[in-house]
Amino acid sequence: MSRSKTILITGGAGFIGSHVVRLFVQKYPNYHIYNLDALTYAGNLENLSDLENQPNYTFIKGDITDELFIQELFDTYKFEGVIHLAAESHVDRSITDPLAFVKTNVIGTIVLLNAFKDCWKDDFEDKLFYHISTDEVYGTLGETGLFIETTPYDPNSPYSASKASSDHFVRAYGETYKLPYVISNCSNNYGQNQFPEKLIPLFINNIINNKPLPVYGDGNYTRDWLYVKDHAIAIDLIFHKGKQGETYNIGGFNEWKNIDLVKLLCKQMDQKLNRASKASEQLITFVKDRPGHDLRYAIDASKIKNELSWEPSVTFEQGLELTIDWYLNNKRWLANIINGAYQAYYQKQYG
Residues that bind ligand TYD (CB under 6 A): 91, 188, 198-199, 202, 214-216, 221, 223, 258, 290
- Cβ contacts of 80 within 8 Å, gap of 6 or more: 5, 6, 7, 126, 127, 128
Active-site entry in 37, 136, 167, 230: 136
Choose between 157 and 188: whose C-beta lies nearer to ligand NAD: 188
Question: Which of 8, 17, 237, 261 touches ligand NAD by CB under 6 A?
Answer: 17
Q: Pick from ligand TYD, ligand NAD, none: which does 216 bind, CB < 5 to 8 A by kind?
A: ligand TYD
What is the number of the residue whose Cβ is closest to ligand NAD?
Answer: 14
Q: Do residues 214 and 283 make contact, with C-beta atoms less than 8 angstroms apart?
A: no
Q: Pick from ligand TYD, ligand NAD, none: which does 215 bind, CB < 5 to 8 A by kind?
A: ligand TYD
* 189 binds ligand NAD, rule: CB under 6 A: yes
* 195 binds ligand NAD, rule: CB under 6 A: yes
User: 111, exposed or middle or buried, with CB in 10 Å at 0-12, 13-18, 19+?
Assistant: buried
User: 159, exposed or middle or buried, with CB in 10 Å at 0-12, 13-18, 19+?
Assistant: buried
Q: Where are the alpha helices (DSSP H) in 209-251?
A: 228-241
Question: Which of 21, 43, 182, 232 touches ligand NAD by CB under 6 A?
Answer: 43
User: 329, exposed or middle or buried, with CB in 10 Å at 0-12, 13-18, 19+?
Assistant: exposed
Helix-, strand-, coil-residue percentages of the chain, each rounded to 5 = 45, 20, 35
Q: Pick from ligand NAD, ligand TYD, none: which does 91 bind, CB < 5 to 8 A by kind?
A: ligand TYD
- Cβ contacts of 302 within 8 Å, gap of 6 or more: none
Identify whether 135 is a catalytic site residue. Answer: yes
Question: Which of 7, 8, 13, 141 touches ligand NAD by CB under 6 A?
Answer: 13
* 22 binds ligand NAD, rule: CB under 6 A: no
* 180 binds ligand NAD, rule: CB under 6 A: no
Kindly indicate which of the ranges 188-196, 259-267, 278-286, 297-305 contains the residues binding ligand NAD, using the contact rule CB under 6 A.
Answer: 188-196
* 87 binds ligand NAD, rule: CB under 6 A: yes
> What is the 8-class DSSP label of residue 1?
-
Identify whether 80 is a catalytic site residue. Answer: no
Identify whether 317 is a catalytic site residue. Answer: no
- Cβ contacts of 339 within 8 Å, gap of 6 or more: none
Q: Do residues 21 and 52 make contact, with C-beta atoms less than 8 angstroms apart?
A: no
Kindly indicate which of the ranges 57-65, 69-77, 265-273, 338-346 contains the residues binding ligand NAD, using the contact rule CB under 6 A.
Answer: 57-65
Shortest distance (Å) from residue 324 CB to ligand TYD: 16
Active-site entry in 159, 190, 248, 327: 159
* 319 binds ligand NAD, rule: CB under 6 A: no
Q: Do residues 239 and 21 make contact, with C-beta atoms less than 8 angstroms apart?
A: no
Q: Do residues 124 and 118 make contact, with C-beta atoms less than 8 angstroms apart?
A: no
Q: CA 214 to CA 205: how far, in whole Å?
A: 12
Positions annotated as catalytic residues are 135-136, 159
Binding stretches for ligand NAD (CB under 6 A): 10-11, 13-17, 37-40, 42-43, 63-65, 85-89, 104, 108, 132, 134, 163, 186, 188-189, 195
